[in-house]
C-alpha cells in the first residue's frame, strides 16, 4: 500500500470517527425533537426552577423550541 493511500485511510478513519461521535450528540436530537421534548418534560416535572436557580440567571427554557416562537 502506498504512503498516500495509507494517509488517506487514516484521515478518512478519523473523519468517520468524529462524524460517528457527533451523530448521537447533535443530529439525533434534531431529528427526534418530539421525543426529546417529552423526555425533558418528564425530567423537569418535579423541579421548581425558582428554588434551584441562582439569582440573576435566566430560568430554564425549552432547548428544542425554535428561536422566536
> Is the pLDDT assigned to residue 58 strictly greater than 80?
no
Q: Dig out the grid coordinates for 42 from the structure.
A: 418528564
**pLDDT per residue over 5-57, tens digit each?**
999 999 999 999 999 999 998 888 889 988 988 988 888 888 887 777 778 77
Entry pTM: 0.49
Question: Could you state, in order of their start, the residue ranges of all structural domains in the chain?
Answer: 3-43
pLDDT of residue 67: 66
Phi, psi values for residue 66, rounded to 5°:
-60, 145
Whole-angstrom distance, CA of residue 18 vs CA of residue 65? 27
Q: Dig out the grid coordinates for 67 from the structure.
A: 428561536
Amino acid at each position: 500500500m502506498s504512503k498516500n493511500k495509507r494517509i488517506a485511510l487514516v484521515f478518512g478513519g478519523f473523519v468517520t470517527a468524529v462524524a460517528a461521535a457527533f451523530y448521537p450528540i447533535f443530529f439525533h436530537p434534531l431529528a427526534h425533537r418530539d421525543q426529546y421534548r417529552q423526555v425533558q418534560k418528564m425530567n423537569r416535572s418535579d423541579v421548581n426552577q425558582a428554588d434551584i436557580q441562582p439569582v440573576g440567571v435566566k430560568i430554564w427554557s425549552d432547548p428544542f423550541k425554535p428561536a422566536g416562537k
